[in-house]
Amino acid sequence: MAKSKMLATQERTQERIFRTKACISRHMELSGVDEDKLAIRMRVTKETIQNRRKHPERMNLSTLWELADILKCPIEELCGGALPEENIETVLAAIIKGIKRIS
């Protein structure tokens, strides 16, 4: 793989990790679940939760599904997808673009 492609892949990976960390923190706050409660619900230690939050890329899919269920969060967000406000921006931009084409 060319060096520039490898760097681009690493950057995308780092961006997804950042987004996943932000999503977990956001939904823990929204649902009022702290690390202690999350550890109990997931039947693991608080240290395991802290490690998973620090290194979300190490979580397997079943763990992500369980976390999404507990936090009532879309799995796409946990996997580094667009956050709701980014989706709104995209939709609004498409609507505005469509209105401009019509007029």
Task: Give the C-alpha separation, 90 to 71, whole Å.
Answer: 25
Question: What's the CA gap between 18 and 40, in Å, rounded?
Answer: 25
Write the pLDDT tens digit of every residue in 31-78: 999 999 999 999 999 999 999 999 999 999 999 999 999 999 888 888
Give the gyration radius of the chain's Cα atoms: 17
User: Which residues span the domain enclosing 52?
Assistant: 3-102
Is the pLDDT at 103 greater than 60? The verdict is no
CATH classification at residue 30: 1.10.260.40
Total structural domains within the chain:
1
Question: What average pLDDT does the structure give for the chain?
Answer: 85
Q: Are 70 and 43 in contact (CB under 8 A)?
A: no
